[in-house]
Structure 1
Amino acid sequence: MQVKANDRIETFHDLVRVLKTHPEWLEELRQLILTTELIELPKKFEEFIENEFKPLKKKVDKLEEDVAVLKQDVAVLKQDVAVLKQDVAVLKQDVAVLKQDVKILKDDVGMLKGDMFEMKLKDKAPSRFGFIIRRCKVLSAEKYVEILDDALDENKITFEEREDALDVDLVATGVLTKDPTKKVFLVAEASVKADKRDIERAYRRAQIFKKATDTETLAVVVCKEKTQGAIKKAQELDVILINVLR
């Protein structure tokens, strides 16, 4: 290696200038300064690109495609869920309407049962009340309305009491079974399942007829079932509670 006079190096800038003048020296200097690992780094980086990065990028690209498909599936699922929610909402409305219809039907059936129970009571009054009164005669609505109107005219009862008593289920006359010389009125309420309100109603209306007729009036409730409240209230008010099977 021939060194020229102007190749004298005293500063860093002299070194840079000389290396530019002799590029072959630069390669030798690089080999002296850099380790083998650093020298081979570009080659290893290329190998990394080929063997690691590119396969990884393919996997990432595939993953992105899968995610895109998944997003589409999720979007479709959301639409299906939205439709399902609408269907459920419609179903809930239909169920609500059905519940209302069932409630109305139950109420109608309950009223029908009550009406039939009341009709049977009127037909079988002598047998139902035989242990209480004899010579049982069921008064027609016209007859007991006349009794109440006469009592109203005579100021024995108030108009409100008349209106209340008009809704009675049954009014009958007869004589006490235990004392045939004593004539009585019998006021009855018919209820498939009697509660304390039925007892109170029968007692209240019996008292109105007692005032209207100046005659002893028995309060009776006829039922198929009864609550404990009905039993207790009947004992308190001395109302006769009759259970029938049919």
Structure 2
Amino acid sequence: MAITLNDAWDFVRYVAEHPELQAELRPLILGPELLSLPELVRENSRQIADLREQTAANTAAIVELRESVSELRVQTAANTAAIAELREQTAANTAAIAGLTTAVEELILLGKQHTTMIGTLNGDVLGLKYERHMRSYLSHVLNDVETIYGDYFKDMRQALREQRLNARNWRAVMDSDLILRGTPDLETEPVIVTVEASVAIDRHDIERSKERADILKAWGYRAVGLVAGKRIDDRDTDRARESGVAVMIGGQLRTWPLEHEEWILD
């Protein structure tokens, strides 16, 4: 059926009177972009609603975080104060430990000094005992045992004055706890015995005694080193025997480097 339209307004009125044409003309007039606009608006509305919910959740989370941060600040301040207090306490403890360490070191040093003094006193007492009884202690191997002193060694004293004798060697001999002179049976040549007295005899005592006897031997004296004390282990006894040093324990000869040693050991 032909339709006569005089102008655009006739067309508008005609379309308004025929709704079925509106659906067909709408895509042609509006285009796909405008037609999809309502759906886009609805989608945007949904997204805005979601964003509002997320924003509300984020806001609540931020509030909670702020509260947590506030609590952390309070805790941090408390921790800082505690750390400062601990540092002060640590400094005080360090100073106290340093003081105690110094006190302990002083006590250790004092203990060592006391030990040395006790050892010296014990050695002195032991030396006095041997000086009183050595004549009888050595009666099995020497006759007419007597204590001698520096003036006995006139040749060595003269050599010392003339600087032919090392002062250290002279001092080593004179540092003997006891120097004795005696004569073996059926002999006329005397034997000089340098005594090193020590409660517990060790290798140092043996070495000192041997050194003193060797110095006297170098000056032509018949000399024997003797270590005397209360105890000595088997190793040092063997060391003394190998070094030619006599050993006396509790007044009894254990070794004698000259003749009759086998008889003494029996």
Q: Do residues 237 (structure 1) and 243 (structure 2) align?
A: yes
Q: Do residues 165 (structure 1) and 141 (structure 2) align?
A: no
One-letter amino acid of the structure 1 residue matched with residue 68 of structure 2: K
Give how far 1:154 is off.
Answer: 8.3
Secondary structure in structure 2 of the residue aligned to 1:193: coil
Distance 1:150 1:54, change over 3 A: closer
One-letter amino acid of the structure 1 residue matched with residue 97 of structure 2: V
Secondary structure in structure 2 of the residue aligned to 1:225: coil
Contact kept, 8 Å, 2:226 with 2:245, in 1: the verdict is yes
One-letter amino acid of the structure 2 residue matched with residue 234 of structure 1: A
Aligned to 2:113: 104
| Cα distance between partner residues in 2 of 1:85 and 1:40 | 65
Aligned to 2:139: 130
One-letter amino acid of the structure 2 residue matched with residue 44 of structure 1: E
Superposition CA RMSD, Å? 3.5
Aligned to 1:84: 93
| Cα distance between partner residues in 2 of 1:119 and 1:146 | 20
| Cα distance between partner residues in 1 of 2:245 and 2:57 | 103
- After TM superposition, the structure 1 stretch with the greater mean CA deviation from structure 2, 167-176 or 64-73, is 167-176
Contact kept, 8 Å, 1:134 with 1:174, in 2: the verdict is yes
Deviations 1:163-209 (A, max 9, x none): 43222221223343xx2555633412212233334334333433555
Distance 1:60 1:164, change over 3 A: closer
Aligned to 1:61: 70
| Cα distance between partner residues in 1 of 2:135 and 2:165 | 31
Structure 2 residues not aligned, in runs of 5+ = 1-36, 253-266
| Cα distance between partner residues in 2 of 1:222 and 1:149 | 27
How does 1:1-246 map onto structure 2 within 5 Å? Answer: 32-41=41-50, 43-45=52-54, 47-48=56-57, 51-139=60-148, 144-150=149-155, 152-153=157-158, 158=165, 160=167, 161-176=169-184, 179=185, 182=188, 184-187=190-193, 188-209=195-216, 216-226=222-232, 230-244=236-250
Give how far 1:89 is off.
Answer: 1.9
Contact kept, 8 Å, 1:194 with 1:225, in 2: the verdict is yes
Distance 1:149 1:184, change over 3 A: closer
Distance 1:50 1:208, change over 3 A: closer
Aligned residues: 211
- After TM superposition, the structure 1 stretch with the greater mean CA deviation from structure 2, 202-211 or 184-193, is 202-211
**What TM-score does the superposition give when structure 2 sets the normalisation length?**
0.63
One-letter amino acid of the structure 2 residue matched with residue 77 of structure 1: L
Secondary structure in structure 1 of the residue aligned to 2:99: helix
| Cα distance between partner residues in 1 of 2:213 and 2:134 | 17
| Cα distance between partner residues in 1 of 2:97 and 2:75 | 32
Give how far 1:104 is off.
Answer: 1.9
One-letter amino acid of the structure 2 residue matched with residue 198 of structure 1: D
Q: Percent identity?
A: 21
One-letter amino acid of the structure 1 residue matched with residue 212 of structure 2: R
Aligned to 2:5: none
One-letter amino acid of the structure 2 residue matched with residue 82 of structure 1: A
One-letter amino acid of the structure 2 residue matched with residue 125 of structure 1: M
One-letter amino acid of the structure 2 residue matched with residue 62 of structure 1: E
Contact kept, 8 Å, 2:159 with 2:165, in 1: the verdict is no
Give how far 1:222 is off.
Answer: 0.8
Distance 1:245 1:181, change over 3 A: closer
| Cα distance between partner residues in 1 of 2:74 and 2:208 | 79
| Cα distance between partner residues in 2 of 1:92 and 1:222 | 39
